[in-house]
Amino acid sequence: MRVCRFLQSKRTAWLIICLTFILGLSIRSQAQTESGSLPDTAAIRKSLDLIGLPFTSSEIIQMQRGIADQKRSYQQLRNTSIPNQWIPAIGFNPIPPGYKIPEFPLTPDWPKFENFKRPTSDSDLAFLTIPELAQLISTRQITSTELTKIYLRRIKQYKDTLMCVVTITEDLALKQAAKADQEISSGKYRGMLHGIPYGVKDLMSVPGYPTTWGAMPYKDQQLEETANVVNKLTEAGAVLVAKLTSGALAMGDVWFGGTTRNPWNLKRGSSGSSAGPASATAAGLVAFAVGTETLGSIVSPSTRCGVTGLRTTFGRVGRSGTMALSWSMDKVGPICRNSLDCAIVLNAIRGLDPFDPATTNTGFGFKPVQSLIGLKIGYLKTLFDQNQQSRKSDSAALEVFRQMGAELIPVALPDQFPVQAMRIILSAEAAAAFDELTLSNRDSLLNAQSDYDWPNTFRTARLIPAVEYIQANRIREQLIIETNKIMQGFDFIITPSFVGNQLTLTNLTGHPCLVLPDGFDKDGNPISICLIANLYREDILCEAGYFYQEKTVFFRKKPSLFSR
């Protein structure tokens, strides 16, 4: 009897074990059916090794179903078409806690050029500043149509040499010039940009013309949206004569048509990615141009081509209708002959953009200064000491500032943060902006295919964890706070253009930067210094920059091949 009971209980136990096992298989099978096949634990471990996370075996097993669920979510997201112009629901704000946005007078106080007379040659005319051209137009010494035709002739003459023009907008330009002439003759003068020919980087859309983004996959793309910047310049009466080259998808000076050339040395590229705006302005093909910067794309080509560039405060200028690369780092700014020109253009294009939530309606002021006495001006001494290649020109530039009344105070920007590591913010946002290009394999159509060009960068960025992206932005906020603590002790800071981390750092913090030509290297190539100011204080940069440029007149130098 006892033996029978023992056998019966043993059979019951085995039955329970078998049923439990079958039920477990059923639940596991159901989970796999709901989420798809579970990822292999070895594959998960390898992925974690790639990003440096040592999770335990039991933790990895527990992760399997969640990862399968995430993979299904990813596929659903990828099935949704996301145009480049869609803005993320998360936004970047460069304003630190407690920072007071400056107030400005209602109108800038521009210097007068009342006695300026028309030069005898068209080539001299092409290199004039905006106020000089404005004086000629407003006094009817030249019409906008005449001036526009001069620039159009120069564009046609030199565009193949410089490879700096994607599209000549001749029909539009002549219509806008004729309208400007009619308005001016009837007494409706809009201001100093009225009738002035300009070009835009071909990241900015203009209906009726291609917007190529410099990249082969988009060379025939036409967008019906008019870029905010183009709208504002049209309202100011300016005349669009050309869409100018950008390095493919805002990197470098290589676009689908070739390499944009430097007017000072045709064996060199113009740098990028605002390659065309800098090259065309330097060669006198346009009176001014508009470019963009995410991580040096105004500073670098302005330096290489010997022109004056203004990287504006993040959110100063609306970006709707302009290709998005990094929603938290992209900035629009002018590339011009001198600082006064930059101030005039900024005053026209700044302000709210209803389709760019990063923009503000902050004002702008300008008044000519005759001394820098009373201003507190810092300089990044350690970086100047390291900058041996242009040490002589840099020292001469600093001495000019001292002669202008500046007391230069050594200062350093924060160095306790992993600034270069935070570039993953740009990589992740750029990969998201061009996810469709990567997934469709059309990235193979881009000219540049090295390890650090966009196609591989976009692919590599897919392995940046979302957590690390958020952590980088948390560190970025502290970088902003600490940088502003230093910056608010100065009216502006002078720095070499490319030494150290300052270029990456100030692009991450959203601070404005003015690029000033300060001479030439031993090979005759232009070099520059930069002025960096507090948020929204482009007025101080342009005032001091204009004063410096009137003392040094490097901005009057012309590349010899294009001065005829």
For the residues of 375-423, what is the DSSP string, one character each?
A: -EEEE-HHHHHH--TTHHHHHHHHHHHHHTT-EEEE-----SS-TTGGG
DSSP for 344-361, please give it: HHHHHHBS-BTTBTT---
How confident is the model over 551-562, as pLDDT tens digits? 999 999 999 999
Quote the radius of gyration of the chain (alpha carbons, Å): 29
547 by DSSP, 3-state: which? Answer: helix
Does 186 sit behind a cis peptide bond, omega within 30 degrees of 0 on the bond before it? no
DSSP annotation of 499 reads S
* Higher-scoring residue by pLDDT: 414, 3: 414
H/E run at residue 292: strand 288-293
Q: Distances from the Cα of 191 to the Cαs of 236, 240, 242, 346, in angstroms? A: 7, 16, 21, 13
Backbone dihedral region for residue 285 (phi beyond 0: left; psi -120 to 50: alpha; all else: beta): alpha
Cα 63 from Cα 238, distance rounded (Å): 59
Question: For residue 7, what pLDDT band results from cuts at 50, 70 and 90?
Answer: very low
- Report the C-alpha gap between 232 and 321 in whole angstroms: 12
pLDDT above 50 (res 325): yes
Closest by CA to 282, choosing from 2, 541, 564, 558, is 558
The domains of the chain are located at 122-360+369-417+450-562
Indicate the pLDDT class of residue 3, thresholds 50, 70 and 90.
Answer: very low
Structure tokens at 114: 């009342």
Which of the four pLDDT bands, split at 50, 70 and 90, describes residue 106? confident
Q: Residue 387's pLDDT is what? A: 84
pLDDT over 70 (residue 511): yes
- The CATH T-level fold of domain 122-360+369-417+450-562 is Amidase signature (AS) enzymes (3.90.1300)
Over range 152-159, report the average pLDDT: 98
Average pLDDT over residues 199-222: 98
How far is the C-alpha of 480 from the C-alpha of 507, rounded, in Å? 10
Q: How far is CA 236 from the centre of its chain?
A: 23
* Average pLDDT along the chain: 93
Q: Poorest-confidence range of 15-29, 76-90, 158-172?
A: 15-29
Q: Report yes or no: 302 and 515 within 8 Å, Cβ to Cβ.
A: yes
User: Distance (Å, rounded) from C-alpha 192 to C-alpha 111?
Assistant: 11
Overall average pLDDT of the 274-285 stretch: 98
47, pLDDT greater than 80: yes
Q: Which helix (H) or strand (E) holds 3?
A: helix 2-35
Predicted pLDDT of residue 96 = 96
Q: How far apart are CA 98 and CA 339, in angstroms?
A: 30
CA–CA gap between residue 507 and residue 495 (Å, rounded): 14
pLDDT, position 36: 55
**pLDDT given for residue 453 in this prediction:** 96
In the chain, the percentage of residues whose pLDDT exceeds 70 is 94
DSSP string, 288-310: EEEEEESSSTTHHHHHHHT-EEE
Terminal Cα distance for the chain, rounded: 119
The pLDDT tens digits for 392-404 are: 999 999 999 999 9
Cα separation, 285 vs 199, whole angstroms? 9
- Taking residues 269-296, report their average pLDDT: 98
Residue matched to tokens 């079958």: 22
CB 488 within 8 A of CB 536: no
Task: Indicate the helix (H) or strand (E) that contains 528.
Answer: strand 526-533
The interaxial angle of helices 339-349 and 228-235, nearest 10 deg, is 100
Q: What is the mean pLDDT of residues 400-421?
A: 97
Instruction: Determine the Cα–Cα distance for residues 150 and 287; give it in Å rounded to an integer.
Output: 11
Write the DSSP symbol of residue 556: G
pLDDT score of 24:
44
> Residue 37's pLDDT band (boundaries 50, 70, 90)?
confident
